[in-house]
Amino acid sequence: MNCKLPTLVSAVVSFLFSGSVLAQETPKYDYVEAFKPFFYPQTGTETRSASGQPGHAYWQNSADYHLNVSLNEDKKEITGTAEITYTNNSPDQLNFLWLQLDQNLFAKNSRGNTVIPLSGSRNGANGEDLDGGYKIKSVKLDGAEVKYMVIDTRMQIDLPKELKAKGGIAKIKIEYSFISPAYGSNRMGIQNTKNGKIFTIAQWYPRMCVYDDVMGWNTLPYLGASEFYLEYGRITANITVPANHYVVASGELLNPKDVYSKEENNRWEQARNSDKTVMIRTESGMSKNQSSGTKTWKFKIEQARDFAWASSSAFILDAAKINLPGGKKSLAISAYPVEVSGERAWGRSTEYTKAAIEHYSQKWYEYPYPDATNVAGNEGGMEYPGIVFCHMNSAGEDLWGVTDHEFGHTWFPMIVGSNERVFGWMDEGFNTFINELSTKAFNNGEYYSKEKVSRAQSYMMNDNAAEPIMVGADNMKERSIGPLLYFKPGVGMGILREAILGPEKFDKAFRTYINRWAFKHPTPWDFFHTMENVSGEELNWFWRGWFFNKWKIDQAVKEVKYVNGDFKNGARITVENLGQLPMPTTVQIKFKDGTTNTVKLPIEVWKRNAEWTFKVDSKKEIDQVSLDPDAVVPDVNMKNNKWSSSDARPTEKINVKDFTGTYGNKESKLKIILTDKNGMLYGSAGGEQSFPLEYAGNNTFTFEDGHLTLTFSKDKKTISLAEGGREFKFNKE
């Protein structure tokens, strides 16, 4: 290829500086590192396309569950039978199966309890002394006893014969029991109230590990911090509890006439057609159900990766319909004790639930379940398909926030089934991001206050934060989980939307990602590929800096100069990228007459430059130049983001025509031709392309790209050209 240097460098170096080494300053920002190729570890495969969508031969296995369980309130014991129909859709024959036994986290000698520091943790049994973990009574395969091995929070079942590929079915039946912890790693537990205990029950049955095309069997142990990776299927559950209890659960209640009174069933029907909250069971109604014995509640949910439930004699229940964009209806339900009833607390829970789900359904993907139940428990907040647990003491803005967040998890990871055990940011971070938009939309922004992302840089980019986002929850300090799984990836998505792609391109790409991977198992690279392919933008520099590394953003206004010292000629503004993570740069120029002008520099500016100078064509005096005026980027040094006229050094005005002409050097025979182009001095040499010269004062002009300085004598008859510590004289002809 033919590559000419369009500057004086090519001419002057060839004539004057042969053999010399050009002195160059190494910038802090390495643009080659930021934009280097080969970000993706592999090209597309039959199962995962390079475009980010499932490949033509994509497969995933499925697990259907039929669960029978009973609650002994006094013993706090769950006794159950799990019947699992596991379908092997993979191209591989399987000679063993792996299951998750998450309750084993609460056994005294579990790995999760062992790694809890002396300072304490929200994970594990939280210091409770209990005989926790599963008691396995029997394990059968296709009706026969089978050999199995329990390893901490996992069970491996050896198969008498290989499970066939592409459709082989295994039927597993496990009988078990366990004692419920009072505070189960902030994901389940038992809350005391004046009208009885509230049992919030999760991770309560053996669940199949995922076998996929990425890792094969995914068998990382459950340590408490990292969450779950699960297969999809149909789940039915028969839940037997004391007769005075009310049960809410994932999915649709199949036998309402058996468990609710006629009056309560009538109220349920009213709620299904009401946008206003309808009371189903009130405080005064608690005295009406003093039954002894037990009741069995039956539920069903489709396309689900998990199932949770709650049971209590203390529940107040209310509900309202949820309007979905496709014309279907769902039902928002709240279950809470009388202690937190009323409009200032859980009395608005159903309103919050309805609003959140309607927003996300309209914005991203339609809610897939018949019910959405919010339960007041002792968890800070935890999500499951069709049901969430939120702390009973949450109220007002806090209750909106936790309700919105936990139901936001319906989309990540209940619909888009990413691997939370490894990539927790793909559910927590994405959810944190969509929560911001939902809160802005709720009730005309009742609880919304725009956060200036620029002020959060110390929280996200602190040198003491030892880990990058991609390492996962089990591989980072517990104090890092909030910043690195929730906040930083959530902010990153906001930056991608507001500062890099723009809302229209981002929203289209993000919706495409959700639609492509609904009820499937995407990896981070599937997400990255989708966002790039749909938006049409190269983004590997952002993924590399924000998710894989701890690169900082630091852009600055380096200099503002009026052309030839006169603001009527316009201004030359120089910005620089000091941090390793580049960003598209928004520059706002505020003039002294109060008007403003905004210049947007694309990311391509930083693909081969550490600083960039552009001209503002204006005849007005500048008062202030600032970067990122809407504060959407977390810059680590806000002090260098502004230039004020009070910082400007006075420069004399010049007439460019006084410096034009032809200047020669006798030794080299080289001529430099200086011309006036619209009030700007341009030079050329040896027939090369002309280059702009910037006036620096005292009859001196510079061309920074070429590291050249031209200084004129007072009579403008000679030029002293300096480069690389050497100096040459040119005389006017």
pLDDT at 218 over 90: yes
**Three-point CA angle 691, 644, 552, nearest 5°:** 75
Are 75 and 196 within one domain? yes
* Tens digit of each residue's pLDDT (9 = 90 or more) over 412-439: 999 999 999 999 999 999 999 999 999 9
CA 391 to chain centre: 24
Are 81 and 220 within one domain? yes
**Per mean pLDDT, which range of 205-214, 452-461, 512-521 is the poorest?**
452-461
pLDDT at 17: 42
CA 451 to chain centre: 16
pLDDT at 458: 64
Where among 615, 647, 679 does a domain terminate?
647
Asked if omega into 206 is within 30° of 0 (cis), the reply is no
Where among 187, 213, 231 does a domain terminate?
231
Which of 277, 369, 386 minimizes the C-alpha distance to 321?
277
User: Which residue type sits at 527?
Assistant: F
Are 171 and 65 within one domain? yes
The phi and psi torsions of 119 (rounded to 5 degrees) equal -70, -10
Are 708 and 640 within one domain? no
Contact 155, 97 (CB under 8 A): no
Q: 3-class SS at 166? A: coil
pLDDT at 668: 78
Q: How far apart are CA 427 and CA 485, in angstroms?
A: 8
pLDDT at 24 over 50: no
**Within-domain flag for 333:** no
**Per mean pLDDT, which range of 96-100, 142-146, 284-288, 681-685 is the poorest?**
284-288
- pTM for the model: 0.90
Are 601 and 672 within one domain? no
Q: Which two tokens stand for residue 88?
A: 């092997």
**Orientation of helix 396-408 relative to helix 425-441, angle to 10°:** 130
Contact 104, 133 (CB under 8 A): yes
pLDDT at 6: 38
The count of structural domains within the chain is 3
pLDDT at 194: 95
Contact 224, 121 (CB under 8 A): yes
Mention every residue, 6+ apart, whose C-beta is less than 8 A from residue 97: 86, 156, 157, 159, 163, 170, 172, 208, 209
pLDDT at 463 over 70: no
**Within-domain flag for 273:** no
* Tens digit of each residue's pLDDT (9 = 90 or more) over 468-511: 999 989 999 888 899 899 999 999 999 999 999 999 999 999 99
β-sheet bridge partners, residue 37 = none
CATH number at residue 709: 2.40.128.50
pLDDT at 22 over 70: no
Percent of the chain past pLDDT 70, that is, above it, reads 94
Q: How far apart are CA 671 and CA 679, in angstroms?
A: 22
Which of 413, 393, 415 minimizes the C-alpha distance to 402?
393
pLDDT at 120: 83
**Within-domain flag for 2:** no
Are 571 and 720 within one domain? no
pLDDT at 8 over 60: no
Structure-token match 């004790």, residue found? 337
Q: Which two tokens stand for residue 149?
A: 């091995």
pLDDT at 27: 53
Are 668 and 642 within one domain? no
* Tens digit of each residue's pLDDT (9 = 90 or more) over 397-407: 999 999 999 99
Which DSSP symbol is given to 261? -
**Orientation of helix 425-441 relative to helix 488-495, angle to 10°:** 60
Regarding predicted confidence, which is higher, 653 or 577? 577
Checking phi first, is residue 483 left (phi over 0); if not, alpha (psi -120 to 50) or beta?
alpha
**Within-domain flag for 150:** yes
Are 642 and 694 within one domain? no
Q: 583: domain range?
A: 555-647
**Within-domain flag for 392:** no
Are 198 and 74 within one domain? yes
Beta-strand ranges (E) seen in 479-618 are: 555-562, 571-577, 585-591, 596-601, 611-616
Which DSSP symbol is given to 232? B
Mention every residue, 6+ apart, whose C-beta is less than 8 A from residue 399: 345, 346, 348, 349, 352, 390
Regarding predicted confidence, which is higher, 476 or 230? 230
Count how many residues are written for the chain.
Answer: 733
pLDDT at 61: 98
pLDDT at 410: 98
Where among 231, 265, 298 does a domain terminate?
231
**Orientation of helix 349-363 relative to helix 396-408, angle to 10°:** 40
| Helices of type H across 471-610 | 478-481, 488-495, 503-517, 524-535, 540-542
Q: How far apart are CA 33 and CA 577, in angstroms?
A: 14
**Per mean pLDDT, which range of 105-114, 119-128, 145-154 is the poorest?**
119-128
Predicted confidence band at 275 (pLDDT cuts at 50, 70, 90)?
A: very high
CB atoms within 10 A of CB 645: 15
Which of 472, 423, 383 minimizes the C-alpha distance to 203?
383
**Within-domain flag for 528:** no
Are 714 and 586 within one domain? no
Q: How far apart are CA 93 and CA 487, in angstroms?
A: 41
Structure-token match 């069709």, residue found? 386
* Tens digit of each residue's pLDDT (9 = 90 or more) over 126-148: 788 899 999 999 999 999 999 99
CATH number at residue 631: 2.60.40.10
* Tens digit of each residue's pLDDT (9 = 90 or more) over 345-389: 999 999 999 999 999 999 999 999 999 999 999 999 999 999 999
pLDDT at 18 over 50: no
Q: Which helix (H) or strand (E) holds 72?
A: strand 62-72
Q: What is the largest CA-CA distance in the chain?
A: 113
The phi and psi torsions of 288 (rounded to 5 degrees) equal -80, -20
pLDDT at 695: 86
Q: What is the mean pLDDT of the chain?
A: 92
**Within-domain flag for 719:** yes
Regarding predicted confidence, which is higher, 731 or 18? 731
Predicted confidence band at 95 (pLDDT cuts at 50, 70, 90)?
A: very high
* Tens digit of each residue's pLDDT (9 = 90 or more) over 535-573: 999 999 999 999 999 999 999 999 999 988 889 999 999
pLDDT at 611 over 50: yes
What value does the mean pLDDT take over residues 649-668?
A: 86
Are 87 and 217 within one domain? yes
Q: Which helix (H) or strand (E) holds 95?
A: strand 94-100
Are 151 and 172 within one domain? yes
Predicted confidence band at 284 (pLDDT cuts at 50, 70, 90)?
A: confident
pLDDT at 26: 42
pLDDT at 12: 46
Q: How many Cα atoms are found within 13 Å in the side-chain-facing hemisphere of 447? A: 18
- C-alpha dist (Å) from residue 57 to 45, 89, 212, 514, 523: 9, 11, 13, 19, 16
pLDDT at 465: 62
**Within-domain flag for 625:** yes
pLDDT at 522: 98
**Per mean pLDDT, which range of 179-183, 338-342, 688-692 is the poorest?**
688-692
| Helices of type H across 44-197 | 111-114
Q: Which helix (H) or strand (E) holds 680?
A: strand 680-685
What value does the mean pLDDT take over residues 702-719?
A: 87
Parallel/antiparallel/unpaired status of strands 387-391 and 371-377 = parallel
**Residue 47 CB burial class (10 angstroms; 0-12, 13-18, ≥19):** middle
pLDDT at 4 over 60: no
Q: How far apart are CA 420 and CA 439, in angstroms?
A: 24
